[in-house]
Amino acid sequence: MKNEMAKQHNYMITLRHFNKNDIPELKNNMFVGKTDEEIISVLSEWDNLEFKGKYSEFFAVICNERIVGYVSLYQHNDYIISVGPEIFLEYRRKGYAYEALKQAYDYAKGKGYKVATAQVRNNNIASIKLHEKLGFVLDCEMINRHGNEVYIYIKLL
């Protein structure tokens, strides 16, 4: 699936699970200083599709056969999910997060989730604009468990 920006730039974003062949890229961008064995352990945890007793799934964001970031899905309850995007620094501002999130939310909807929620730092203008472009609306402001001022956005899937 291509979005408008993807068509303009002639690229296609896909999502797939991480695997052992991704270890070099993961060492460069996510797990700097970790051993292959430590990364394999994390990949094994991700394969369980669960975090703290709830559904969780990690996907590599792929553009032209290269990992440009990742998205993580996390279940809040039977019908609410959140998706956390991370596009690696050198690949930002190219529309990859937008397309990856569209695909991730479509995937979540296909799994039966009805509502998406997103916690965005109130000073992260790029993420605020991204979520608003995706159709999210601001629900409330709060201080999260890390002491950061954040906005909570919601969207019907």
What Å distances lie between residue 6 and 9, 63, 89, 100, 131, CA to CA? 5, 10, 19, 11, 18
The 10s digit of each residue's pLDDT in 61-98 is 999 889 999 999 999 999 999 999 999 989 998 999 99
pLDDT, tens digit (0-9, with 9 covering 90-100), for 121-152: 999 999 999 999 999 999 999 999 999 999 99
Q: What is the pTM of this model?
A: 0.86
According to the model, what pLDDT value does residue 9 have?
56
State the pairing for strand pair 115-121/80-87: parallel
Helix axes 96-110, 125-133, angle to 10 degrees: 50
